[in-house]
Chain A
Amino acid sequence: MITKETIRNLAILSRLEFTEDELAKYTQSMDDIFNYANLLKNIETSHVAPSSHAIPIQNVFREDFVIPYENIDKILSNAPEAEAHSFVVPQILAD
């Protein structure tokens, strides 16, 4: 059972904010979706290993040598606010 409180907590965790109306809508649609997803309870999996990948690959590595990146300015020019060759963010701790 998905409640408004569930959605409210998930919103804080996800850095999202909703109006009361949106909260109600998401509560309803998520409840529908999880009612459907609960059909997974019908399938026995206690001895099944979970798969994180579609196809198993292992041990992919990179050698430890430096390749300086040449387009740093193109990264910084994407910043909504930049100063002193840095990204700028507003006050972290409110007064």
Chain B
Amino acid sequence: MTSWEAVIGLEIHAQLTTNTKTFCNCSAEFGATANTHICPVCTGMPGVLPVLNKNVVEYAIKLGLATNCSISGHNEFARKNYFYPDLPKGYQISQFDKPICLKGHMDVVVEGKESKIGITRIHMEEDAGKLVHQGSDNIKGATHSFVDLNRSSVPLLEIVSEPDIRNAKEAVAYMEKVKQILQYLEICDGNMEEGSMRCDANVSIRKKGETSLGTKAEVKNLNSFKSVEKAINLEIERQIDILEEGGTIIQETRHYNEATNSTKSLRSKEEAHDYRYFPDPDLVPIVISSEWVEEVRKSLPELPEARRNRYMADYALNEYDALYITSEKSLADFFENTLKFINKPKDIVNWLMSDVAAYIKSKQLSVNATKLTPELLAGMISLLSAGSISGKIAKDVILEIFETGKNAQQIVSEKGLAQVSDEGAIKQAIEQVLQENHESVESIKNGKVQAIGFLVGQVMKKTGGKANPGLANKLLKELLGIS
């Protein structure tokens, strides 16, 4: 088993968050009622012509620069000809032999090991529409299908990697990296559930040490990070089984089924595919000057690596924390926005990595999608560090903020959660605790000083968590006569 090595390349389709479609002024928004974002152009009515959305080009240049690609000076669109009911013109407008970005790379880290994944090309193309199958959940068994062209001509970037990936975990890390960069650039929302990011994997295997490539299979329909990992592992195992039994791998396309965690060969159609690419005569070449590229470069936002380094330098975050906070742009932005209200970077990070992370994970939300705002988080941290609430109370307060969106001060006063620092009140509680816990008091007097922690806990309990724990500790020691 261990003598085999996998060779994997990914083709990722990223749907761009432009306002309009690639070649017409229809909204590119996801999720509208069927056929409400359509016009003669994106439904392929006779006589219409495409006009390119400038932002599609700008977004492509952004991604190219962020992934260390060179930007092609001369670009053309080509027609890819095939028949399918979700493809209104009978051809997809794509780029063929003149893609906009070439020869880039990204560094990914898996289990502490960094590797460089090459990017062969990135090109612009339009999406197809959507088929809604009737009489069955999927195409097999359906009696007829509805064609919804809302998605027809929504812009995509296809990102093709070199076969530099060696295992499923690395593939996932690469995809996460692509998603992170797309989100930082704000050109794709990276939402795999809604299909904003889709992935096909080319998988082959070879004996370790060999340099030639084995026959590859293309695995399609990878709609989540889990699917990518599982399907690639499945395909590697399938190929190893075949080769170890003396068989040969057939070059084919396989469809991954997430529900059954299996792949199935797509029967090759009765015809050989021949897409008959040729330059689209309805569109003109796009010439990208170095001035244009520089202009886009200047508009690039700070990318994850740069942010991580800045956080370590400016806020003294350790590498682990800085990596975590910059893993998603929304989280890093939240962090920086909170800093505007309170200059306690380490405290903010701790909250974001613990209670906030737990909450958004349990609700499957983005950090932006809860009632907790940077200002509210800062308010809560400020109460805590002023000693107005205890750390324990703070954990309750933040949950309350998530639920109600009220500010911490308001919650504390409404619920009477303010920390008690009144010596008299605490002393009263201590006296009661001492009376109720003779045994502990005895053992402390006999030298078992660590039992004092238990008593402090009892005092906190008695005060509903509101006693200032430091003060309680100090007073206890005084009353017990320990210095």
Contacts and interface: CB of A to CB of B under 8 A. Distances in A.
A and B touch in the complex (CB under 8 A): yes
Interface of A: 9, 12-13, 15, 52-53, 56-69, 72, 75-76, 78, 83-93
A90 B51 CA distance: 32
Contacts of A78: 45
B284 A75 contact: no
Contacts of A91: 142-145
A84 B33 CA distance: 10
A52 B149 CA distance: 29
17 contacts: A15-B83, A52-B281, A60-B52, A60-B284, A61-B53, A62-B52, A63-B54, A64-B53, A65-B19, A65-B20, A68-B27, A72-B39, A75-B35, A78-B45, A85-B35, A87-B146, A89-B145
B265 interface: no
A81 to B, nearest CB: 9
A60 B77 CA distance: 12
B35 A72 contact: yes
A15 B81 CA distance: 12
B140 interface: yes
A93 B139 contact: yes
Question: How many B residues touch the partner, as a band?
Answer: 35 or more
A13 to B, nearest CB: 6
A75 to B, nearest CB: 6
Given A52-B76, A52-B278, A75-B35, 14 more contacts: A15-B83, A57-B284, A60-B283, A60-B284, A61-B53, A62-B20, A66-B26, A76-B35, A78-B45, A85-B33, A88-B144, A92-B133, A92-B139, A92-B142
B132 A69 contact: no
Given A66-B19, A72-B36, A86-B148, A61 B143 contact: no
Interface of B: 18-20, 25-27, 33-36, 38-40, 43, 45, 51-55, 57, 76, 83, 85, 131-133, 139-140, 142-149, 270-272, 274, 276, 278-279, 281, 283-287
A58 B19 contact: no
Contacts of A58: 284-287
B47 to A, nearest CB: 13
Given A68-B27, A89-B147, A92-B131, A60 B274 contact: no
A85 B148 CA distance: 8
Contact of B27 (A66, A76, A83, A84): A66
Given A13-B274, A61-B54, A89-B147, A84 B19 contact: no
A62 B310 CA distance: 38
A64 B147 contact: no
B34 A86 contact: yes
A90 B35 CA distance: 18
